Amino acid sequence: MTPEVHPEFQLNGVSLDHKGLMTVAYSYVKEGELWERQVGEFLLNWMDDFSYHTVFSSGSTGTPKEYRLEKQHMINSARMTGERFRISAGMDVLGCLPLSYVAGKLMMVRAIELGWHIDLVAPSKNPLDKVAKRYDFTALTAYQVKHSLNHLYKSRKTIIGGGPVDEALVESLNGRHTRAYHTYGMTETSTHVGVRELYPNYEEFFTALPRIKVRLNGADCLIVDAPDLADEPIVTNDLGIIKDEKMFKILGRTDNVINTGGIKIHPETVHNKLSKFIDSRFFIASESEPHLGQQVVIYVEGDEVDLDSAFAKAKLDRFEKPRKVIFVKQFAETHTAKIDKKVIIANHQGK
Protein backbone atom coordinates (compact mmCIF):
# COMPACT_ATOMS: atom_id res chain seq x y z
CA MET A 1 0.00 0.00 0.00
CA THR A 2 1.14 3.57 -0.67
CA PRO A 3 0.07 5.77 2.28
CA GLU A 4 -1.82 8.95 1.47
CA VAL A 5 -0.59 12.39 2.47
CA HIS A 6 -3.16 14.52 4.29
CA PRO A 7 -3.91 17.73 2.33
CA GLU A 8 -3.09 19.90 5.38
CA PHE A 9 0.29 18.23 6.09
CA GLN A 10 3.27 20.54 6.40
CA LEU A 11 6.95 19.78 6.99
CA ASN A 12 9.05 22.64 8.38
CA GLY A 13 6.42 25.16 7.28
CA VAL A 14 6.04 23.86 3.71
CA SER A 15 2.89 22.15 2.42
CA LEU A 16 3.82 18.90 0.68
CA ASP A 17 1.90 16.30 -1.32
CA HIS A 18 3.24 12.85 -2.19
CA LYS A 19 5.51 14.15 -4.95
CA GLY A 20 6.83 17.00 -2.82
CA LEU A 21 7.50 14.70 0.10
CA MET A 22 9.49 12.33 -2.11
CA THR A 23 11.53 15.26 -3.44
CA VAL A 24 12.38 16.36 0.10
CA ALA A 25 13.25 12.78 1.05
CA TYR A 26 15.71 12.44 -1.84
CA SER A 27 17.27 15.77 -0.89
CA TYR A 28 17.72 14.68 2.74
CA VAL A 29 19.33 11.39 1.71
CA LYS A 30 21.68 13.06 -0.74
CA GLU A 31 22.69 16.21 1.11
CA GLY A 32 21.52 15.99 4.73
CA GLU A 33 23.27 15.38 8.00
CA LEU A 34 23.01 11.90 9.53
CA TRP A 35 19.69 12.58 11.30
CA GLU A 36 18.27 14.15 8.13
CA ARG A 37 19.38 11.16 6.06
CA GLN A 38 17.46 8.97 8.50
CA VAL A 39 14.39 11.13 7.89
CA GLY A 40 14.81 10.82 4.14
CA GLU A 41 15.34 7.08 4.21
CA PHE A 42 12.24 6.59 6.32
CA LEU A 43 10.09 8.75 4.04
CA LEU A 44 11.24 6.86 0.95
CA ASN A 45 10.41 3.55 2.62
CA TRP A 46 7.12 4.80 4.05
CA MET A 47 5.86 6.14 0.73
CA ASP A 48 6.67 2.97 -1.27
CA ASP A 49 3.99 0.43 -2.19
CA PHE A 50 4.98 -2.32 0.24
CA SER A 51 2.38 -3.21 2.85
CA TYR A 52 4.88 -3.31 5.73
CA HIS A 53 7.71 -1.26 7.17
CA THR A 54 10.80 -2.78 8.81
CA VAL A 55 11.83 -1.39 12.19
CA PHE A 56 14.31 -2.30 14.91
CA SER A 57 13.88 -2.19 18.67
CA SER A 58 16.19 0.17 20.59
CA GLY A 59 18.25 -2.61 22.18
CA SER A 60 17.91 -1.15 25.68
CA THR A 61 16.51 -4.43 27.06
CA GLY A 62 18.57 -6.81 24.93
CA THR A 63 19.86 -7.35 21.42
CA PRO A 64 17.99 -5.11 18.94
CA LYS A 65 15.28 -7.09 17.15
CA GLU A 66 13.89 -6.64 13.66
CA TYR A 67 10.13 -6.31 13.22
CA ARG A 68 7.94 -6.01 10.17
CA LEU A 69 5.09 -3.70 11.04
CA GLU A 70 2.05 -3.49 8.81
CA LYS A 71 1.68 0.06 7.55
CA GLN A 72 -2.03 -0.08 8.26
CA HIS A 73 -1.28 -0.91 11.90
CA MET A 74 1.05 2.10 12.09
CA ILE A 75 -1.65 4.31 10.58
CA ASN A 76 -4.17 2.94 13.10
CA SER A 77 -1.74 3.80 15.90
CA ALA A 78 -1.38 7.33 14.55
CA ARG A 79 -5.15 7.79 14.53
CA MET A 80 -5.44 6.50 18.10
CA THR A 81 -2.87 9.04 19.28
CA GLY A 82 -4.64 11.89 17.53
CA GLU A 83 -7.93 10.80 19.07
CA ARG A 84 -6.54 10.38 22.59
CA PHE A 85 -4.72 13.71 22.73
CA ARG A 86 -7.12 15.65 20.49
CA ILE A 87 -4.40 16.78 18.09
CA SER A 88 -6.12 17.47 14.80
CA ALA A 89 -5.19 18.69 11.32
CA GLY A 90 -3.30 21.98 11.17
CA MET A 91 -1.89 21.79 14.69
CA ASP A 92 1.83 22.41 15.30
CA VAL A 93 4.00 19.55 16.53
CA LEU A 94 7.74 19.13 17.09
CA GLY A 95 9.65 16.06 15.94
CA CYS A 96 12.88 15.65 17.90
CA LEU A 97 13.35 11.87 18.15
CA PRO A 98 15.58 9.92 15.73
CA LEU A 99 13.71 8.40 12.81
CA SER A 100 15.95 5.35 12.96
CA TYR A 101 13.57 3.94 15.59
CA VAL A 102 9.84 3.53 15.87
CA ALA A 103 9.01 6.43 18.21
CA GLY A 104 10.47 8.98 15.80
CA LYS A 105 8.94 7.24 12.79
CA LEU A 106 5.47 7.36 14.34
CA MET A 107 5.66 11.12 14.91
CA MET A 108 6.16 11.51 11.18
CA VAL A 109 3.41 8.97 10.35
CA ARG A 110 0.98 10.86 12.60
CA ALA A 111 1.82 14.13 10.90
CA ILE A 112 1.42 12.72 7.38
CA GLU A 113 -1.78 10.83 8.21
CA LEU A 114 -3.48 13.45 10.38
CA GLY A 115 -2.38 16.63 8.63
CA TRP A 116 -0.15 18.02 11.37
CA HIS A 117 2.32 20.83 10.80
CA ILE A 118 5.55 19.18 11.96
CA ASP A 119 8.88 20.89 12.48
CA LEU A 120 11.94 18.65 12.68
CA VAL A 121 15.05 19.40 14.72
CA ALA A 122 18.17 17.34 15.30
CA PRO A 123 17.66 14.82 18.14
CA SER A 124 19.49 16.03 21.25
CA LYS A 125 19.16 16.02 25.01
CA ASN A 126 17.59 19.52 24.99
CA PRO A 127 15.67 19.89 21.70
CA LEU A 128 13.32 22.61 23.01
CA ASP A 129 16.08 25.04 23.94
CA LYS A 130 16.41 26.74 20.57
CA VAL A 131 12.89 26.49 19.15
CA ALA A 132 11.10 29.83 18.98
CA LYS A 133 7.42 28.82 18.96
CA ARG A 134 5.00 26.99 21.23
CA TYR A 135 3.87 23.61 19.91
CA ASP A 136 0.61 21.80 20.49
CA PHE A 137 2.28 18.41 20.91
CA THR A 138 5.76 16.95 21.41
CA ALA A 139 7.15 13.49 22.20
CA LEU A 140 10.26 13.34 24.40
CA THR A 141 12.25 10.76 26.33
CA ALA A 142 12.61 11.13 30.10
CA TYR A 143 16.26 12.06 29.55
CA GLN A 144 15.26 14.90 27.21
CA VAL A 145 12.64 16.13 29.67
CA LYS A 146 15.22 16.33 32.48
CA HIS A 147 17.38 18.57 30.30
CA SER A 148 14.48 20.68 28.98
CA LEU A 149 12.56 21.60 32.11
CA ASN A 150 12.95 25.35 31.65
CA HIS A 151 11.61 25.09 28.09
CA LEU A 152 8.73 22.65 28.54
CA TYR A 153 6.27 25.55 28.25
CA LYS A 154 7.02 25.43 24.52
CA SER A 155 4.94 22.23 24.33
CA ARG A 156 1.29 22.40 25.37
CA LYS A 157 1.03 18.60 25.54
CA THR A 158 4.12 16.46 26.09
CA ILE A 159 4.26 12.68 26.00
CA ILE A 160 7.21 11.01 27.73
CA GLY A 161 8.12 7.54 26.53
CA GLY A 162 10.97 5.11 26.12
CA GLY A 163 11.02 3.76 29.67
CA PRO A 164 10.09 4.31 33.31
CA VAL A 165 9.54 7.78 34.80
CA ASP A 166 10.78 8.19 38.36
CA GLU A 167 9.40 10.27 41.23
CA ALA A 168 12.09 12.93 40.87
CA LEU A 169 11.07 13.65 37.28
CA VAL A 170 7.39 13.80 38.19
CA GLU A 171 8.14 16.32 40.95
CA SER A 172 10.26 18.41 38.58
CA LEU A 173 7.20 18.90 36.34
CA ASN A 174 5.47 20.95 39.03
CA GLY A 175 4.84 24.49 37.80
CA ARG A 176 5.91 23.78 34.22
CA HIS A 177 3.39 25.10 31.73
CA THR A 178 2.73 21.83 29.91
CA ARG A 179 0.34 18.94 30.25
CA ALA A 180 2.63 15.92 30.63
CA TYR A 181 1.83 12.26 30.04
CA HIS A 182 3.77 9.03 30.46
CA THR A 183 3.26 6.46 27.71
CA TYR A 184 3.65 2.69 27.75
CA GLY A 185 4.30 0.73 24.60
CA MET A 186 6.69 -1.33 22.53
CA THR A 187 8.01 -1.63 19.03
CA GLU A 188 5.59 -4.45 18.17
CA THR A 189 2.57 -2.20 18.73
CA SER A 190 3.91 0.83 16.85
CA THR A 191 4.72 2.67 20.11
CA HIS A 192 2.28 3.41 22.91
CA VAL A 193 -0.79 1.42 23.88
CA GLY A 194 -1.37 3.06 27.27
CA VAL A 195 -1.19 6.57 28.74
CA ARG A 196 -1.18 8.07 32.22
CA GLU A 197 -1.17 11.76 33.05
CA LEU A 198 1.72 13.03 35.18
CA TYR A 199 0.97 16.76 35.38
CA PRO A 200 -1.05 18.75 36.31
CA ASN A 201 -3.06 15.70 37.40
CA TYR A 202 -1.20 12.61 38.55
CA GLU A 203 -2.41 9.14 37.57
CA GLU A 204 -0.77 6.03 38.99
CA PHE A 205 -2.28 3.65 36.42
CA PHE A 206 -2.01 3.65 32.66
CA THR A 207 -5.24 3.65 30.66
CA ALA A 208 -5.22 1.64 27.44
CA LEU A 209 -5.97 3.52 24.23
CA PRO A 210 -9.29 3.00 22.44
CA ARG A 211 -9.95 -0.56 21.25
CA ILE A 212 -7.09 -1.97 23.35
CA LYS A 213 -7.52 -4.31 26.32
CA VAL A 214 -5.01 -5.74 28.79
CA ARG A 215 -4.82 -8.82 31.00
CA LEU A 216 -2.20 -10.84 32.91
CA ASN A 217 -0.91 -14.34 32.25
CA GLY A 218 -0.09 -16.92 34.91
CA ALA A 219 3.28 -15.29 35.58
CA ASP A 220 1.62 -11.87 36.11
CA CYS A 221 3.09 -10.54 32.87
CA LEU A 222 1.01 -8.09 30.88
CA ILE A 223 -0.75 -9.30 27.73
CA VAL A 224 -1.89 -6.61 25.30
CA ASP A 225 -4.88 -7.27 23.04
CA ALA A 226 -4.68 -4.62 20.32
CA PRO A 227 -6.33 -5.98 17.17
CA ASP A 228 -5.88 -2.68 15.31
CA LEU A 229 -2.12 -2.76 15.97
CA ALA A 230 -1.11 -6.41 15.97
CA ASP A 231 -2.58 -9.58 14.50
CA GLU A 232 -2.06 -11.57 17.73
CA PRO A 233 -2.11 -10.66 21.44
CA ILE A 234 1.33 -9.57 22.61
CA VAL A 235 2.75 -11.24 25.71
CA THR A 236 5.22 -8.86 27.33
CA ASN A 237 8.00 -9.41 29.87
CA ASP A 238 6.53 -6.66 32.04
CA LEU A 239 5.14 -7.62 35.42
CA GLY A 240 1.92 -5.78 35.99
CA ILE A 241 -1.10 -5.07 38.16
CA ILE A 242 -4.48 -4.51 36.53
CA LYS A 243 -7.64 -2.83 37.81
CA ASP A 244 -9.72 -3.92 34.86
CA GLU A 245 -9.30 -4.58 31.15
CA LYS A 246 -8.29 -0.94 30.53
CA MET A 247 -6.23 0.16 33.55
CA PHE A 248 -2.83 -1.24 34.49
CA LYS A 249 0.42 -0.52 36.30
CA ILE A 250 3.90 -1.79 35.44
CA LEU A 251 6.10 -3.09 38.28
CA GLY A 252 9.14 -3.91 36.17
CA ARG A 253 10.49 -6.47 33.75
CA THR A 254 10.40 -10.10 34.81
CA ASP A 255 13.90 -10.62 33.43
CA ASN A 256 15.18 -7.79 35.68
CA VAL A 257 13.92 -9.21 38.98
CA ILE A 258 16.74 -9.73 41.49
CA ASN A 259 16.43 -12.73 43.81
CA THR A 260 18.61 -11.92 46.80
CA GLY A 261 18.41 -14.15 49.84
CA GLY A 262 15.06 -15.46 48.61
CA ILE A 263 13.62 -11.93 48.43
CA LYS A 264 12.52 -10.64 45.02
CA ILE A 265 13.60 -7.08 44.31
CA HIS A 266 12.36 -4.96 41.41
CA PRO A 267 15.20 -2.67 40.21
CA GLU A 268 12.63 -0.14 39.02
CA THR A 269 11.26 0.20 42.57
CA VAL A 270 14.72 0.79 44.04
CA HIS A 271 15.54 3.30 41.30
CA ASN A 272 12.32 5.18 41.99
CA LYS A 273 13.10 5.45 45.70
CA LEU A 274 16.62 6.75 45.06
CA SER A 275 15.82 9.10 42.20
CA LYS A 276 15.17 12.12 44.41
CA PHE A 277 18.49 11.76 46.24
CA ILE A 278 21.01 11.02 43.48
CA ASP A 279 21.59 13.76 40.91
CA SER A 280 23.68 11.71 38.48
CA ARG A 281 22.34 9.11 36.07
CA PHE A 282 22.30 5.64 37.62
CA PHE A 283 20.72 2.24 37.30
CA ILE A 284 20.16 -0.82 39.46
CA ALA A 285 21.44 -4.26 38.45
CA SER A 286 22.67 -7.42 40.11
CA GLU A 287 25.59 -9.78 40.25
CA SER A 288 26.14 -13.26 41.64
CA GLU A 289 26.83 -13.59 45.34
CA PRO A 290 27.68 -16.99 46.94
CA HIS A 291 25.48 -16.63 50.02
CA LEU A 292 22.52 -14.62 48.72
CA GLY A 293 22.44 -15.98 45.19
CA GLN A 294 22.34 -12.43 43.82
CA GLN A 295 23.10 -9.04 45.30
CA VAL A 296 21.89 -5.57 44.36
CA VAL A 297 24.44 -3.37 42.58
CA ILE A 298 24.13 0.30 41.65
CA TYR A 299 25.98 1.82 38.68
CA VAL A 300 26.45 5.60 38.92
CA GLU A 301 27.70 7.92 36.19
CA GLY A 302 30.47 10.36 37.13
CA ASP A 303 33.07 10.75 39.84
CA GLU A 304 32.92 8.83 43.10
CA VAL A 305 30.72 10.28 45.83
CA ASP A 306 29.42 9.00 49.16
CA LEU A 307 25.94 7.53 48.66
CA ASP A 308 25.27 6.43 52.26
CA SER A 309 23.09 9.48 52.95
CA ALA A 310 21.10 8.86 49.76
CA PHE A 311 20.49 5.25 50.77
CA ALA A 312 19.34 6.39 54.24
CA LYS A 313 17.01 9.13 52.94
CA ALA A 314 15.43 6.74 50.44
CA LYS A 315 14.46 4.40 53.30
CA LEU A 316 15.48 1.31 51.38
CA ASP A 317 14.56 -2.06 52.75
CA ARG A 318 17.42 -4.28 53.94
CA PHE A 319 17.67 -6.29 50.75
CA GLU A 320 17.00 -3.28 48.47
CA LYS A 321 20.12 -1.43 49.62
CA PRO A 322 22.93 -1.89 47.08
CA ARG A 323 25.73 -3.98 48.48
CA LYS A 324 28.09 -2.70 45.81
CA VAL A 325 28.52 0.71 44.14
CA ILE A 326 30.23 1.00 40.76
CA PHE A 327 31.12 4.44 39.38
CA VAL A 328 31.43 4.82 35.61
CA LYS A 329 33.00 7.96 34.16
CA GLN A 330 30.53 8.09 31.26
CA PHE A 331 27.67 5.71 30.50
CA ALA A 332 27.58 3.98 27.14
CA GLU A 333 24.35 4.72 25.26
CA THR A 334 22.22 3.03 22.63
CA HIS A 335 21.41 4.75 19.34
CA THR A 336 18.28 6.18 20.98
CA ALA A 337 20.32 7.78 23.82
CA LYS A 338 19.15 5.23 26.39
CA ILE A 339 21.66 3.88 28.90
CA ASP A 340 23.25 0.77 27.39
CA LYS A 341 23.18 -1.35 30.53
CA LYS A 342 24.44 -4.51 28.81
CA VAL A 343 27.64 -2.85 27.63
CA ILE A 344 28.26 -1.09 30.95
CA ILE A 345 27.74 -4.25 33.00
CA ALA A 346 29.94 -6.31 30.65
CA ASN A 347 32.75 -3.78 31.02
CA HIS A 348 32.57 -3.49 34.79
CA GLN A 349 31.10 -6.70 36.25
CA GLY A 350 33.43 -8.32 38.73
CA LYS A 351 35.65 -5.27 39.14
DSSP string, 66-95: EEEEEHHHHHHHHHHHHHHHT--TT-EEEE
Name the band, by pLDDT with cuts 50, 70 and 90, for residue 337. confident
Among 217, 214, 222, 223, CA closest to 244: 214
Distance separating alpha carbons of residues 200 and 20, to the nearest angstrom: 40
* pLDDT tens for each residue of 219-233: 999 999 999 999 999
> Taking 70 as the threshold, does the pLDDT of residue 314 lie above it?
yes
CB atoms inside a 10 Å sphere around CB 182 = 22
User: What CATH code would you report for 10-253?
Assistant: 3.40.50.12780
Q: Is-contact 119 144, C-beta < 8 A?
A: no
DSSP-H helix ranges across the chain: 18-31, 34-46, 71-85, 102-114, 142-146, 167-172, 267-274, 308-313, 341-348
Name the band, by pLDDT with cuts 50, 70 and 90, for residue 350. low
Q: Where in the chain is the domain with CATH 3.30.300.30?
A: 257-348
**pLDDT given at position 58:** 63
Q: Is-contact 179 134, C-beta < 8 A?
A: no
**pLDDT given at position 71:** 96
Among 328, 320, 348, 331, CA closest to 252: 320
**pLDDT given at position 334:** 80
* pLDDT tens for each residue of 251-294: 988 888 999 988 889 999 999 999 999 999 999 999 998 888 99
335 or 238, higher pLDDT:
238
**pLDDT given at position 348:** 83
* pLDDT tens for each residue of 20-74: 999 999 999 999 999 999 999 999 999 999 999 988 876 555 567 788 999 999 9
**pLDDT given at position 66:** 87
* pLDDT tens for each residue of 61-109: 556 778 899 999 999 999 999 999 999 999 999 999 999 889 999 999 9
* pLDDT tens for each residue of 151-200: 999 999 999 998 889 999 999 999 999 999 999 999 889 889 999 999 99
> Taking 60 as the threshold, does the pLDDT of residue 303 lie above it?
yes
- Coil/strand/helix, residue 302: coil
* pLDDT tens for each residue of 126-157: 999 989 999 999 999 998 999 999 999 999 99
**pLDDT given at position 351:** 58
**Does CATH place domain 257-348 in 3.30.300.30?**
yes
Q: Where in the chain is the domain with CATH 3.40.50.12780?
A: 10-253
